[in-house]
Structure 1
Amino acid sequence: MNRLHHGNITCIEDLRKLAKKRVPKMFYDYVDSGAWTETTYRANSDDLANIRFKQRIGRNVETRTQRSSLLGEEVTMPVGLAPTGLAGMQYPDGEILAARAAERFGIPFTLSTMSVCSIEDVAEHTSRPFWFQLYLMKDRSFMEQLISRARQAKCSALMLTLDLPVQGQRHKDIKNGLSAPPKPTIQNIASIAIRPRWCLNMLRTKRHSFRNIVGHVAGVSDTTSMARWVDEQFDQRMSWDDIKWIRQIWDGKLVLKGIMDPDDAQMAVEYGADALVVSNHGGRQLDGAISSIAALPRVVRAVGKQAEILFDSGIQSGQDVLKALALGAKGTLIGRPFLYGLGAMGEAGVARCLEIIHKEMDLTMALCGLNDIQNIDRDILESQGRSMFAS
């Protein structure tokens, strides 16, 4: 394992390939997919790849730092782990392991409402406050209960995901019959049987379902009742008054995720958001939408310094992180990269993902003549990269 960890794993793509071998198909596909034609999913990474750096020489770059702050918390680099559902199906106790890796590295971890490990599970196994992600649900009393549990767990920020009034269609999830735990179909049994490592590890944990929900909602006790309840909960009547309500009952840092439009960004600030996440849900919701990186500069111009701007969707490297920062983001969130690491190697894989991103950022900063991440701006990009998303 050490030889594999240090010798063969040199980039996020290596982790992805290994995760594909080790994670059952339905759960790997859940991560590595987008909505409908996956046009927006691909655009997120393609548009980032088309931005070019400006190489500089003759600058003393012997001392470099990526230290920064996100939502008032000191971080070793301006990267956090995004909220991702079913991380505990990529690797047993996945949310706990990812949170521990993030804590050791010195960056934030965000727990999803749709996690396998509960708020209490993660709090029990970590010492650094983490962030908690929430959806706007019809069951407001359950939302209040979740917020209360997050407060009791000393979560330092509440992240409200707003781009899911309905769930986007992901063909792979439908064809695979996605569920947690997996249903005992011939297809699933065959996929799991050839991955004995995953099976053995899963047998060692009691966490196999959505523990933030099961046991906390009346009538939800198994996969079928859980799926029915979730389908009914996405609130298509959502309005800005709901944001106002949450702001009134949550007195900590409030982050609104799913902002792609300047007008929405300005409204978010008016309704009390401390930070915004420019995100199209990794291309998993509205297929045919623009990439997150294309939306970022317009949101930055609309908000200015009224709120922190975070960015996600499409990041696959430390260079992608720098491109988002150069275009105005204060920090970034990664989802798929750390999930690939988690599926490939558990906690060690998440740590390796963070090491890779940190090193890629460090080397790129040196070659661009940048010493301090807090001084980054569009000057590290070639003119094409500075202007391609200017409109």
Structure 2
Amino acid sequence: MRHNGAMTSSIGRARQNEIYRAGIHGRSPSIPTDFATLEERARAAMSARGWAYIAGGAGEGRTMAANRDALDRWAIVPRVLRDTSERSLQIELFGQTLPAPILFSPVGAGALAHDRADVHIGHAAAELGLPYIFSNQGCAPMEDVAAEMESVRQGAPRWFQLYWSTDDRLVRSLVSRAEKMGAAAIVVTLDTTMLGWRPQDLNLGSLPFARAEGIDQYTSDPTFWEIVSERLKGAVAAKPEVSIGAIKTLLSIARNVPGDLRKNLTAPEPRAAVETFLDIYSRPSLDWDDILTLREMTDLPIVLKGVLHPDDARKAVELGIDGIVVSNHGGRQVDGSISSTDALVDIVDAVKGQLKILVDSGFYTGSDVFKALALGADAVCIGRPHMYGLALNGADGARDAVANILAELDLTLGLSGHTDVNALDRSALKRL
């Protein structure tokens, strides 16, 4: 095996051997190696609110089901009598050499699964050398997550997810901070200019952001506080309804907004911060001209997340966008949407390699990643698996959940008769 990281012939076997050796002593892995058991145990460990937000989907869950059904319509066709003793998972993405074609997806309000979730996820990603796309709706300032990643691995790759606020001053501030903390790309989420109809959250009356959960990128931003201050000037304080629920929400806000807890309970700024966020966090009027404006703000690669139609992908090529993420937001925005896998096939055919194509939504295993790569994706973003691992065992759990996917990808690559993820194409698959 080469020692420069290009060849990874032992990743899968090493992971297997680690688990089997522990089994000799009667120890089973703390993070289940199959997704169904991982999901089941995570649900038992999480609160009802946490499970609803992270595991839930839009409407009746048809898009989540479609994501899995579409993957199942493609079968891997193994080849034999090929030397697969040395294999490479390594890829190049926006000037960075990555050990595998996998990224940690952004997931908002991660503290519903584990306190300061983003710091722990960043730690996990850095241990594996994989990029973490920092969530704009994170539960720790991006600077704290970057510092944690640097403490684990110098130069650990990270990107930043941007939700486009109704106030461009805040957009500019967030982009500037992302540049300073070492982001290698800006990922603009396009499919959440308003929240989808999410019954699991609605049935609980639970919106994490209303409790100041998942707004740390905002409350750590000086421009955001300037906006809050402007809104407070001349505002007439309304007499709030007093209830047990309102008191619990106020306590949550006071804990999650920077500052002294006791002062936050009585000061107007924390509650105003939440109200300001809810009013300005995303802009339904976002259009292609705004994306061109972003190009004026930053020299970082721009990746558009939430692209599902070939014409939108072609438009991204036309405007010189660096990459897209084919995504239906994990089935959380539009019930009955096209699956990410079906959209991926159409988009790959449409753009013909003119920009980088990543994909997410419904990819839970190493064989899922293999199929996505064979269908033309350059890399795959993993979401719920690392969140479930996080819920079970913090940073170690998030790391192990993705390490299991890496191991299965490596073994699937070799067992199907291939040696390099960059060489995969549709000849490795058969449509059923």
Residues 114 and 212, structure 1, Cα contact 8 Å, conserved in 2: yes
Compute the RMSD of aligned alpha carbons.
2.2
CA distance in 2: counterparts of 1:225 and 1:31, whole angstroms = 24
Question: Which residue does the alignment assign to 2:145?
Answer: 122
**Counterparts in 2 of 1:215-234, with a 5 A limit?**
215-216=220-221, 217-218=224-225, 219=228, 221-222=269-270, 225-226=273-274, 229-234=277-282
Question: Which residue does the alignment assign to 2:170?
Answer: 142
CA distance in 2: counterparts of 1:7 and 1:126, whole angstroms = 23
Question: Which residue does the alignment assign to 2:219?
Answer: 214
Classify the secondary structure of the residue corresponding to 2:160: strand
Cα deviation digits, residues 275-297 of structure 1 (max 9, x gap): 11111111111111110100111
Cα deviation digits, residues 209-253 of structure 1 (max 9, x gap): 521112532338446752563244421211110000001111111
2:330 corresponds to 1:325? no
2:171 corresponds to 1:171? no
Question: Which residue does the alignment assign to 1:155?
Answer: 183
Aligned partner letter, 1:355: A
2:316 corresponds to 1:243? no
- Equivalent of 1:343 in 391, 394, 401: 391
Shift in CA distance, 180/163, structure 1 to aligned 2, threshold 3 Å: closer
**Counterparts in 2 of 1:364-379, with a 5 A limit?**
364-379=412-427
Aligned partner letter, 2:316: A
Q: CA deviation at 1:18?
A: 1.9
Gaps of 5+ in 2: 1-21, 151-155, 230-268
TM-score by length of 2: 0.79
Classify the secondary structure of the residue corresponding to 1:293: helix
> Which aligned segments of 4 or more residues in structure 1 are displaced greater than 3 angstroms?
2-5, 179-183, 220-225
Residues 116 and 212, structure 1, Cα contact 8 Å, conserved in 2: yes
Classify the secondary structure of the residue corresponding to 1:88: helix
Q: CA deviation at 1:348?
A: 1.0
Name which of structure 1's ranges 45-54 and 331-340 shifts more when overlaid on structure 2.
45-54
Q: CA deviation at 1:355?
A: 1.6
Shift in CA distance, 8/310, structure 1 to aligned 2, threshold 3 Å: closer
- Higher-Rg structure is 2
Aligned partner letter, 1:89: L
- Equivalent of 2:133 in 91, 95, 110: 110
Cα deviation digits, residues 287-311 of structure 1 (max 9, x gap): 1111010011111122122110101
Gaps of 5+ in 1: 184-206, 386-391
Shift in CA distance, 142/367, structure 1 to aligned 2, threshold 3 Å: same
- Equivalent of 1:273 in 321, 324, 348: 321
Residues 166 and 281, structure 2, Cα contact 8 Å, conserved in 1: yes
Classify the secondary structure of the residue corresponding to 1:346: helix
Shift in CA distance, 168/223, structure 1 to aligned 2, threshold 3 Å: farther
TM-score by length of 1: 0.87
Aligned partner letter, 2:290: D
Name which of structure 1's ranges 20-29 and 321-330 shifts more when overlaid on structure 2.
20-29
Shift in CA distance, 181/295, structure 1 to aligned 2, threshold 3 Å: closer
Aligned partner letter, 1:298: D
CA distance in 1: counterparts of 2:27 and 2:132, whole angstroms = 26
Residues 53 and 381, structure 1, Cα contact 8 Å, conserved in 2: yes
Identity %: 34
CA distance in 2: counterparts of 1:69 and 1:332, whole angstroms = 13
Cα deviation digits, residues 304-350 of structure 1 (max 9, x gap): 22110101111011111111111110111011111111111111111
CA distance in 2: counterparts of 1:300 and 1:208, whole angstroms = 37
2:117 corresponds to 1:89? no
Count of residue correspondences = 361
Shift in CA distance, 5/277, structure 1 to aligned 2, threshold 3 Å: farther
Name which of structure 1's ranges 331-340 and 63-72 shifts more when overlaid on structure 2.
63-72
Aligned partner letter, 2:158: F
Residues 31 and 401, structure 2, Cα contact 8 Å, conserved in 1: no
- Equivalent of 1:262 in 310, 315, 336: 310
Residues 15 and 349, structure 1, Cα contact 8 Å, conserved in 2: no
